[in-house]
Amino acid sequence: MELTDLKVFVSVAEEGGISRAAEKLEYVQSNVTARIRKLESEIGVALFHRHPKGVALTEKGAQFRDYALTILSLAEEAVRAVQEKPHPSGPLVIGVVETVTCGNFMNALSDFQSSYPEVSLSLVTGTSSELLAMVMDRRLDGAFVTGDIPPAQLIFEYTVKDEIKLLTHEKGGVYPDLSSAKWAVSPKGCPFRKVLEEWLDSEGISLRNVIEIGSLETLMSCVKSGLACTLLPASVLKGEYRSLRAYPIPEPFRFTSTSLVRRSDRFSGKAFAAFAEMVRVNGL
């Protein structure tokens, strides 16, 4: 079994098709097909179901994919470990929930890049659940995630607490009627949407009158226009959104935390160590 075979297998799994994987890898399609057949022959099981529109992982294929990702990641980490320079350098991929970018983070990031120009930093945005899955799959060096995070296999490099507020149009003034309010929410997987659902459920109210929005900026603009209310941490009340009305919510739902986490068994180089120190010194 060769690393190249594993890379081809993972690419086919991600692309959902032989031809798309071949295009991404810049291989001829017959080469990709041959490598998949060779891998299946060596393992002795079918890794993919074939269908007219492409391929899908079998149950065994999905299980094998997890191991393949781990093997490939460890191989990359081994190279990075022995090639690492005495100062922060090289690629660094960090996951970020959008609420992190509302405070001091971007200014601190600018200082970080000025201090360590040899670090090639990439930011990946997503929900906490998406980013945590990417950390566990070794696709991210670390990530900022919000809410209660199980500590298994994770190291928490930094944690900050924030208060969740009920936000409404700046010309509000009366606490919204929860039973009739319209809500702007992020897609499922967002911890603030979960808090809202739990709060309303405790009041005997279902979360039904919603506008689902994927962008934090668009969501905030929706609230600012008076179209809907939302629940978000007080840290988002910056700049043009500082004037939004912010109301407290009941104690059991009021506080959250945002943490910078990484896998405990992943190689942590000088670039990530410098990044984590920057966060600890500057905060969010």
12-68 pLDDT, tens digit per residue, is 999 999 999 999 999 999 999 999 999 999 999 999 999 888 899 999 999 999 899
133-169 pLDDT, tens digit per residue, is 999 888 899 999 998 888 888 999 999 999 999 999 8
**Packing angle of the helix pair 29-43, 18-25 (nearest 10 deg):** 110
H helices of 3-160, in order, are: 3-15, 18-25, 29-43, 59-83, 105-115, 128-136
Question: Same domain, yes or no, for 241 and 266?
Answer: no
Distance (Å) of CA 86 to CA 81, 83, 136: 11, 10, 27
Q: Residue 90, Cβ neighbours under 10 Å: how many? A: 15
**Distance from C-alpha of 240 to C-alpha of 245, rounded to nearest angstrom:** 12
Range of the domain at 273: 87-156+258-282
Q: What residues does 247 pair with on adjacent strands?
A: 166
* Domain endpoint, select from 81, 96, 111: 81
The CATH number covering residue 9 comes to 1.10.10.10
Number of domains in the chain: 3
94-122 pLDDT, tens digit per residue, is 999 988 887 778 888 888 999 999 999 99
pTM confidence score: 0.74
Question: Same domain, yes or no, for 145 and 183?
Answer: no
Question: Same domain, yes or no, for 96 and 147?
Answer: yes
Question: Same domain, yes or no, for 53 and 127?
Answer: no
The CATH number covering residue 217 comes to 3.40.190.10
Question: Same domain, yes or no, for 169 and 204?
Answer: yes
Which tokens is 111 given?
């200082």
